[in-house]
């Protein structure tokens, strides 16, 4: 389930872009719903990463998810990556849960 890790970052980013670009032209309620759904989807993906990490064998608990290559020069390869281990999976779940709880409780 580590393939869900990029979506933990992507959904809130898309919600922010929507609210920043289109949000002022829509109703405040619609912008709030889009923001809440984006953060909630991030939490669901983070929960999937955590549950997938908990069910993995000990050798597979630490994974690197490469988002995209950045610099390639000879044998040097630098890429944008996410390291998913048990602690980071727990932290993204906790952080996205607190964010979704705060977002859902706003009037």
Tens of pLDDT, residues 75-97:
999 999 999 999 999 999 998 88
User: How distant, in Å, are the alpha carbons of 11, 21, 93 from that of 15?
Assistant: 6, 10, 18
pLDDT in tens, 9-38: 999 999 999 999 998 899 988 988 898 899
Residue 27 has phi, psi (to 5 degrees) of: -75, 155
Query: What tokens were used for 56?
Result: 């993995």
User: Quick check: 97 and 105 in contact, CB under 8 A?
Assistant: no
């Amino acid at each position: 389930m580590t393939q869900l890790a990029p979506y933990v970052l992507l959904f809130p980013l898309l919600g922010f872009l929507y609210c920043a670009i289109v949000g002022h032209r829509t109703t405040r309620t619609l912008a709030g719903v889009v923001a809440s759904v984006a953060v909630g989807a991030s939490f669901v993906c983070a929960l999937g990463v955590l549950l997938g990490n908990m069910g993995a064998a000990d050798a597979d608990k630490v994974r690197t998810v490469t988002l995209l290559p950045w610099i390639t020069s000879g044998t040097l390869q630098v890429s944008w990556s996410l390291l998913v281990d048990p602690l980071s999976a727990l932290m993204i779940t906790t952080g996205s849960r607190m964010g979704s709880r705060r977002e859902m409780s706003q009037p």
